[in-house]
Each structure stands twice: as structure tokens, then as C-alpha cells.
Structure 1
Amino acid sequence: MATIYKEFIVEADAARVWDALRDFNAVHVRLAPGFLTGCTIDAEGARVLTFANGLVAREVPVGIDDTHRRLGYTVAGGKASHHHASAQVFTEGPGRSRFVWITDVLPDAMAAYVEPMMVQGAAAMKAALEGRTA
């Protein structure tokens, strides 16, 4: 299984970053605008995301842990036989936080496709969380 790990510093309070991350249904507005162009919620509570490159993915929430500021989700359908991700926010000092995003994917070859998207997504998230545009 390939594991893709992205970590970045956000010049924003961890509570504010967590509030945006945990808002599962507004990810396209609050967390990664521009990278994501749409989000609808299906009858089972999964979010169906449209990415700027035209990709559509269905993400099912696995858990939202307010105590540890951690969110987990899995991608259902698509080309990967397994795709699970989590994101977690840590306090890094006053007005500063650390965002850790980890994705496990099978087959391993899917990492070559997922990793560049995570780079773009991380840049969009950092910009949005800091009140800038990517």
C-alpha cells in the first residue's frame, strides 16, 4: 500500500483551522476553494466532490474526532481498490497550526496520480485557511 504524507504550517489558529476542516459538507467553500469546484451530499451522507480538473469523487466520512481535531474519510468507487485518508490539525503556537494529511491507496501505482493532487489540494487549503487565494 502506498502512503502519501503532506504536512504544512498554517498561519491561523488551530481552532479556526479545525472548524473549517470538520465542516465536511462545505469543503469546497471553506477548505479548498478553487481546487474543488463543487460538493453535493448524497442520500447516504457521502460528499460527491468535483475537482477543478474535472475529476468527481465520492468521499464517505469515517470519523470526526473533535478532541484530537482529526477527520477520516474513504473514497468509494473510482480506480483505487482502497483509498483512505485522514487530516489532523495541531496547535503550533499562538495563531499558528500544523496540518497533517495522510492518504493510503491501493494499488501502489495510484500514488503517482493521487500525490500531485494532494500537493495542489494542500496549497489551496493553506491559502484558503490563511485568507489568501492559491
Structure 2
Amino acid sequence: MASIRKEMALPLAAEAVWNVFADVGAVHTRLAPGFVTDCVLEEGSRLVTFANGVTVRELLVDVDDARRRLAYSVAGGSASHHHATFEVLPEGEGSRLVWTADVLPHEVAPVFEMMMSQGMETMARSFQTPNSTHSG
């Protein structure tokens, strides 16, 4: 199984960053605007549309406020297996975002790695720009 891990330090407190991740239906407006163009919540999942036109169903496995951890799995698509987590960890006066995805088959890992890199770049810009989308 291919495991992809991305990390970045953020200037905001972990609670403020987690507030954005916990708002699972607003990924297109609060977390990754431009990279994600639409998000529709459904029972136990969300339908996410990316700027490249790809739409995926993400099964929401767990949204853990105490641990500031979001776990999800993509159903269908090019991977026979996909499971990912976002963790928001306190780090000094800011926080650290850790995004891990496990995928099969190994051959699809480069596509997921590229999408995750683009997603992290978008999130970094979003969290670096002071605006009201990060407040409760």
C-alpha cells in the first residue's frame, strides 16, 4: 500500500485551524477555495468537486473534535482502497497540519500525491491570508 504524508506549519492556533476542518460541508469556501469548487453533504459523506472537474464521494469516517482529527475514505474512482486523515496539532503559537493518505494500487499514488500537493498549497494560502473564513 502506498502511503502519502504531507505536513505544514500554520500561523494560526490549532483550535482556529480545526474549526475550518470540522466544518466538513464548507471545504470549497473555507478550506480550499479554488482547488475545491463544490461540496454537498449527504448522509455520512460529502460529494466533493475539484477545479479539474473530478467529483468524488468522501465517506466521513470520523470527525474527532477532541483530537482535532478528520478521517475519510474515497469511494469508487481509480483507487481500490483509499483512506486519509487530517490532523491539526498544536505547535508553538501556531499549529501543524498533517495529511496522510493510504491508497491502492501503488500505481495511482502519483495522482493522489499531486492532488494532495495542490491541496496543501491552496490550504497554505488560505490559512496565511487573514480573513473571516477561519473564525467560528
Normalising by the smaller structure, the TM-score range is over 0.9
Equivalent in the alignment of 2:114: 116
Gaps of 5+ in 1: none
Equivalent in the alignment of 1:55: 54
Equivalent in the alignment of 2:2: 2
Question: Matched residue pairs, number?
Answer: 130
Gaps of 5+ in 2: 131-136
Equivalent in the alignment of 2:133: none
Q: TM-score, normalised by structure 1?
A: 0.93
Equivalent in the alignment of 2:14: 14
Partner Cα separation in structure 1 for residue 9 and residue 68 of structure 2: 15
Equivalent in the alignment of 2:40: 40
Q: What amino acid does structure 2 have at the position aligned with 1:4? A: I
1:92 partnered with 2:91: yes
Partner Cα separation in structure 1 for residue 29 and residue 125 of structure 2: 12
Q: TM-score, normalised by structure 2?
A: 0.92
Q: What amino acid does structure 2 have at the position aligned with 1:104? A: D
Task: Output aligned runs, 1:55-74, within 5 Å.
Answer: 55-74=54-73
Equivalent in the alignment of 2:123: 125
Deviation at 1:130?
Answer: 2.1
Map Cα deviations across residues 18-43 of structure 1 (whole Å, 9 max, x no partner). Answer: 0001111111111111110011123x
Identity %, equivalent residues: 50
Equivalent in the alignment of 1:78: 77
Partner Cα separation in structure 1 for residue 99 and residue 126 of structure 2: 16
Runs ≥4 in structure 1, deviation > 6 angstroms? none
Deviation at 1:63?
Answer: 0.5
Deviation at 1:11?
Answer: 1.1
Partner Cα separation in structure 2 for residue 100 and residue 41 of structure 1: 23
